Chain A
Amino acid sequence: EIVLTQSPDTLSLSPGERATLSCRASQNISILLAWYQQRPGQAPRLLIWDASNRATGVPARFSGSGSETDFILTVSSLEPEDSAVYYCQQRRDWHLTFGGGTKVEIK
Chain B
Amino acid sequence: QLQLRESGPGLVKPSETLSLACTVSGVSISSTHYYWAWVRQPPGKGPEWIGTLYDSGRTNYNPFLQSRVTISVDTSKNQFFLSVTSVTAADTAIYYCVKHLTIGASRYNFFDPWGQGTRVTVSS
Measuring CB to CB, which residues of chain A are less than 8 angstroms from any residue of chain B?
A: 1, 34, 36, 43-46, 49-50, 55, 87, 89, 91, 94-101
Contact A96 B109 (CB under 8 A): yes
Q: Among A95, A99, A100, point to the contact of B62 (Cβ < 8 A).
A: A95
The residues of B that contact A100 with a CB separation of less than 8 Å are: 45-46
Mostly helix, strand, loop or mixed at chain A's interface?
Answer: loop
7 CB contacts below 8 A, A to B, read A43-B115, A49-B112, A89-B111, A91-B109, A98-B47, A99-B46, A101-B46
> Are B115 and A94 touching (Cβ within 8 A)?
no
Known: A94-B60, A95-B62. A46 touches B45 (CB 8 A): no
> In this assembly, does B116 line the interface, its C-beta being within 8 Å of a C-beta of chain A?
yes
Q: A91–B37 Cα gap in the complex (Å)?
A: 14
Complex-state Cα separation, A94 to B47, whole angstroms: 16
CB of B63 within 8 A of CB of A44, answer no
Q: Which of B81-116 contact A (CB under 8 A)?
A: 96, 101, 108-116
Closest to B4 in A: A43
* Contact of B47 with A87 in the complex, beta carbons under 8 Å: yes
Q: Cα distance A51–B86 when bound, in Å?
A: 37
Q: Which residues of B contact A99 (CB under 8 A)?
A: 46
Closest Cβ of chain A to B71, distance in Å, is 14
Chain B 40-82 against A: per-residue CB contact (8 Å), 1 yes, 0 no? 0000011111000000000010110000000000000000000
